[in-house]
Amino acid sequence: MPVVVRALAWRKSSFSGVNNGDCVEVAVGHLVVGVRDSKNTDGGILTFDPAGWRAFLTRQP
């Protein structure tokens, strides 16, 4: 995993609650967007380029 993704500021929903629940965290950089499991921050990270992230967010079923 590129170090640059791990070094980004990670955010999660305020609806995660006090126990951090089953949530994902998102980090947005200039060239990459990372998504990871909030319970396993040392685990795998999905990465998207900005266009791929926009497509992921706007995809219709």
- Domains of the chain, residue spans: 3-58
State pLDDT tens for residues 17-35.
666 567 889 999 999 999 9
H/E run at residue 26: strand 24-28
- pLDDT tens column, 32-56: 999 999 888 888 899 999 999 999 9
Which tokens hold the place of 44? 């795998």
Tell me: pLDDT of 14 over 80. Answer: no
Distances from the Cα of 46 to the Cα of 2, 6, 17, 49, 54, angstroms:
11, 11, 23, 10, 14
* Nearest to 11, CA basis, from 21, 23, 26: 26
